[in-house]
Amino acid sequence: MPNPAQILDDLARIANDWTAIAVIWHGLMAAAVVGLLAGWRPAKRLGATVLALPLLCVSVMAWIYGNPFNGTVFLGFAAALSALGMRLPVAKTERPQAWALALGVLMVAFGWVYPHFLGAGPWWRYLYQAPTGLIPCPTLSAVVGFALLARGFSARGWSVLLGILGLFYSLFGALRLGVTIDLVLLVGSVALLWLARCLKPVPQP
């Protein structure tokens, strides 16, 4: 694995080289938020599977910039979450409890405007160019947020897997890389793991 300085440099390069992709991810998130506000509740299978796509994008970026650890981890988790998601029912997602709703909104907002790694420029660039969908922590923050809004898709295994990934990268970012704002992801990940305790395992076909 590269040293912390090299990792931080590569994350900054990804964030600034691929802002067009970040804009696309922001547009997709905006569409999802508008739909949720309008009362749309996606099918559990669809939602859980689609949320693996940002992780796949992070994997691609990591491989391009020579970080096989992140590339492998995010590819593996994207595949696992997709596989688990495809086994979920097509029933609509359930509405979250009040605390999960509030925290889910916070996590999505944090991932949306993740205030780190972009170069010099006006602050409002973060509203549409923050590196969500490009690098680990902002991507996981948004995905964890949407998972909380969907009550973990009522899937214990899926929620535990995502929670563990978020837990690892929040601690790695804060303690190893010195990006202390990643502790926000820690809060969301712990909350998702707590939520998973209350969910029943998905019955096997």
Whole-prediction pTM: 0.95
Residue-wise pLDDT for 2-14, tens only, equals 789 999 999 999 9
- In a domain, residue 189? The reply is yes
In the predicted model, what is the mean pLDDT of residues 100-109?
97
Q: What is the pLDDT of residue 119?
A: 79
Q: What is the pLDDT of residue 204?
A: 46
What range defines the domain where residue 181 resides? Answer: 4-197
Assess whether pLDDT exceeds 60 at residue 203: no
- In a domain, residue 73? The reply is yes
The fraction of the chain above a pLDDT of 90, given in percent, is 90
Helices (H), the chain: 4-17, 19-37, 44-50, 53-64, 68-86, 98-113, 126-129, 136-149, 156-171, 183-197
| Residues 6 or more apart whose Cβ sits within 8 Å of residue 117 | 11, 12, 14, 15, 16, 131, 135
Q: What is the pLDDT of residue 120?
A: 76
Residue-wise pLDDT for 159-202, tens only, equals 999 999 999 999 999 999 999 999 999 999 999 999 999 876 65
- In a domain, residue 204? The reply is no
Q: What is the pLDDT of residue 200?
A: 64
Asked if 191 and 151 count as a contact pair (C-beta separation under 8 A), the reply is no
- In a domain, residue 203? The reply is no
- In a domain, residue 151? The reply is yes
- In a domain, residue 202? The reply is no
In the predicted model, what is the mean pLDDT of residues 44-72?
97
- In a domain, residue 103? The reply is yes
Assess whether pLDDT exceeds 50 at residue 26: yes
Q: What is the pLDDT of residue 123?
A: 86
Write out the two tokens for 4.
Answer: 């912390």
Structural domains counted in the chain: 1
Residue-wise pLDDT for 133-153, tens only, equals 999 999 999 999 999 999 999
- In a domain, residue 58? The reply is yes
